[in-house]
Amino acid sequence: MSERTVYLDYAATTPVAPKVAELMTRLLTSGSDFANPSAVHPAGRRAQALVATAAGQLADLLNCDPQQLIWTSGATESNNLAIIGAARYRQKRGRHLVSMPSEHKAVRDVLRALERDGFELTWLAPDESGRLNPESLKNALREDTQLVSIMAVNNETGVVQDIEQLGQLCRDADVLFHVDAAQAVGKLPLDLAAMPVDLLSLTAHKFYGPKGIGALYINERPGCHIEPLFFGGGQQRRRRPGTLPVPMIAALGCAAELAKGRIPADLKHLESLRDQLWQGIRNLDGLRLNGDPEHSFPGILNVSVDDVEGESLLLAMEPVCVATGSACNSQDREPSMVLRSMGRSDAAAQSAIRFSYGRQTRSADIEFAVGHYIQAVERLRALAPGQAA
């Protein structure tokens, strides 16, 4: 009999909701809804109707116009399309870009690629809680600044940025504002009709949809436009050509519709789990919370602990599935860039564990994880040089 596994890595990816999986399976295996939505025959029109329905469902979740959405393969592609596309479109006005070192690699690496192409980057460090002081952004904006990219919810710490205030600073300066919202869409209420956001990236697999499908929101206000990265077709107004994956798009729409009705209940559930987890481990000697208790998404809890190395702790905690940082960095032994930007030492960053949980997580799972975490820390400390009595 296999050992029990407790999955607490929902920030990396979530299980596909049963209703979403059922819809996707049906569209992949039956009827004629698999048709190319670019085709003008009846089957193609039915496929196009499914795409339009999904756009409406996602637009309803975000409170935006469906025409402002472009389908992509996920948040990484959306980030690339938004940042490179906008920077290239506005480069005749200026080539100065602003972001934070605590962003996801799918933003940091894109910006570094643009830097190699002659763009100038300003990196704004967060405070020790992980939040960006709006005054820092205001002081960084210049006449040649064309794009600012700040994530809504940090993927490692769960810290929530003040997107409204940061976005308004950009809007007042006529600077495009891009938000990586991979960890926010479907989890927190977002109203793009009211928020000063120009470009917003998302992916389905962070809110109980399938991997491989995402979207990019593009505000239709004057001056907000992107150059395409791909060529070879007229789909999606030539901004992102290619045959649309109808079953995946429909699945994303279904996940968005489910999320819209569940966000309040999901948040209440996550808050309960977070409080239980924190109360269970907070008295451990040398423990430190990485994040802002007042401004954080309750589905992520990141902690460091003295005298323990994170990778060893990760292995010692099995069969509890947690992370030492973001999923994209799981093979990287370097200390977390996110935590180092918050002023954490290399030792503290290397000892960090990210717990993330979701709809299917239960109180018993948290209790199990608390016990394994404490036991693992104590066992590794006992094995460390100089720790023996």
Q: Give me the pLDDT at residue 134, please.
A: 97
Structure tokens at 175: 């600077």
Q: Give me the pLDDT at residue 335, please.
A: 77
Q: Give me the pLDDT at residue 7, please.
A: 98
Matching fold, domains 6-13+263-383 and 18-258:
no
The residue to which tokens 């479907």 are assigned: 186
CATH architecture of the domain formed by 6-13+263-383: Alpha-Beta Complex (3.90)
Please pick, among 64, 170, 321, 328, the residue that the annotation labels catalytic: 328
* Cβ atoms 90, 143 nearer than 8 A: no
Euclidean distance between the first and the last CA atom of the chain, given in angstroms as a whole number? 38
Q: Identify the three-state secondary structure at position 188.
A: coil
pTM: 0.94
CATH 3.30.590.20 corresponds to the domain 18-258: no
Q: Give me the pLDDT at residue 327, please.
A: 45
CA distances in angstroms from 366 to 67, 227, 258, 278, 322, listed in the order given: 42, 46, 25, 10, 12
Q: Give me the pLDDT at residue 389, please.
A: 40
Closest CA to 273 of 368, 155, 377, 352: 368
pLDDT in tens, the chain (389 residues): 357 899 999 999 999 999 999 999 999 887 767 788 999 999 899 999 999 999 999 999 999 999 999 999 999 999 999 999 999 999 999 999 999 999 999 999 999 999 999 999 999 999 999 999 999 999 999 999 999 999 999 999 999 999 999 999 999 999 999 999 999 999 999 999 999 999 999 999 999 999 999 999 999 999 999 999 999 888 888 889 899 999 999 999 999 999 999 999 999 999 999 999 999 999 999 999 999 999 999 999 999 999 998 889 999 999 999 998 544 444 555 678 999 999 999 999 999 999 999 999 999 999 999 999 999 999 999 987 655 44
Tell me, yes or no, if 328 is annotated catalytic: yes
| Count of other CB atoms within 10 angstroms of residue 63 | 14
d(CA 83, CA 152) in angstroms, rounded, equals 16
d(CA 5, CA 320) in angstroms, rounded, equals 6
d(CA 89, CA 83) in angstroms, rounded, equals 10
The one-letter code for the residue type at 327 is: A
Q: At what angle do helices 105-116 and 75-89 cross, to 10 degrees?
A: 30
Instruction: Render the burial of 184-204: b for 16+ CB within 10 Å, e for the rest.
Output: bbbbbebebeebbbbbbbbbb
Domain coordinates of the chain in residue numbers?
A: 6-13+263-383, 18-258
Structure tokens at 282: 């907070």
d(CA 344, CA 151) in angstroms, rounded, equals 20
Residues 6+ apart with CB under 8 A from 242: 230, 232, 233, 235
Dihedral of the alpha carbons of 290, 293, 299, 303, in degrees to the nearest 10 = 20
